[in-house]
Amino acid sequence: MDPHPADTSLPGTVLNRIGRRLLFTVGVNTVVALFLALPGRDSLWVNWVYSQCIGLLIWACIDGGRFVFHPRGQLTGWRMALLVMAGVVAGYSAGCLLANALLGRPVLLGLHGLPTSTLQIMAVSLLAAGITTHVFTSREQLAMAREASEAAERQATEARLRLLESQLEPHMLFNTLANLRALIATDPPRALAMLDRLDGFLRATLQASRSGPGHHTLAAEFERLTDYLALMAVRMGPRLTHTLELPEALRDQPVPALLLQPLVENAIRHGLEPSVAGGHVTVSAREVDGALQLEVQDNGMGCASEPGEGSGFGLAQVRERLTSAHGAAAHCHWHSRPGEGTRITLRLPLSTAHATTTPSA
């Protein structure tokens, strides 16, 4: 990854940043003009014109010079000090000439002591330029440090999500391969059908891993569930039925990859397979009170209390994926009763880029 990515700021954002700096510089120049007018040797207006011409040109020389000598304007140390001093000399000289021209005075008159002595105005200009430059560069460095910290946090979160996904994938894969091995000997046609579904599931999984956590949509997640449930249907036959409910308006909602499949696997493995009659599993997505609600429900065996970590349910991993992706804004609720089945509800922030106006259920 490029450590210094190109600036992708919109032109309006750049103009706003320049506008804020300009207003700040004008304010500092006004304070300098008030200070210079105190002795009463020139009017406030004359001092204000000199101060603005000199101060704005000094700002332009220093702020523009940073990007001339560094592509990102990140000058520090003695290089920045030299630039400030050179900018003060150049800005002061050009500012005096410009102010004299605006006030109708001899062009070179300002360099001989107007509105105050040259050394005094140079000292004040240097002080003002140093303060202004320090404020600008400090804020920029803080902003860049904050951006770098946020980027590192995003990368760490993505790495953690991929690690959790890699922990979940083998569990499902090994179970499927074991079932496939048994079917090859007893029912070759069903084994072939299962192999075709496994191929589709693995292709979808590979595509999701390449797209990244932020680009995996609910549509892609439900496509993976379709292949997975087809795999399980080959194994369980008519004992397994399912319903997938995904509104068109929510198809492009981003979600962490492999979020629902472990929950569906739990429903089949712990709720439906132990039952002689099998059962039905329903996976639904909807918008509720401005949030995305995902639900996995089965009518299987159920249980009296929520299974703990290490029980094979994978609830801890799902909750950890939600926390890594959305922090405290996401929740996972588990509800089950013996003989009545289990319902797991996930609540995630609704992406504003794909927000809908569906009424709350």
String of DSSP letters for 304-345: SS---TTSS--HHHHHHHHHHHHGGG-EEEEEEETTTEEEEE
Stronger pLDDT, 168 or 74, i.e. the higher one: 74
Domain borders along the chain are: 11-149, 187-354
Who's near 59: CB < 8 A, 6+ residues apart? 21, 22, 25, 91, 129, 132
Residue count (the chain): 361
The predicted model gives 291-304 an average pLDDT of 92
The pLDDT confidence band at residue 28, using thresholds 50, 70 and 90, is confident
How far apart CA 127 and CA 319 sit, in angstroms, is 55
How far apart CA 358 and CA 346 sit, in angstroms, is 18
The pLDDT confidence band at residue 299, using thresholds 50, 70 and 90, is very high
Stronger pLDDT, 33 or 344, i.e. the higher one: 344
Give per-residue pLDDT as tens, 233-280: 877 888 999 999 999 999 999 988 778 888 898 888 888 988 888 999
Give per-residue pLDDT as tens, 220-231: 889 888 888 888
* Partners of residue 341 on adjacent β-strands: 337
Give per-residue pLDDT as tens, 119-145: 555 565 666 666 666 665 666 666 666
pLDDT for the residue numbered 60:
82
The hierarchical CATH code for the domain 187-354 is 3.30.565.10
pLDDT for the residue numbered 361:
36
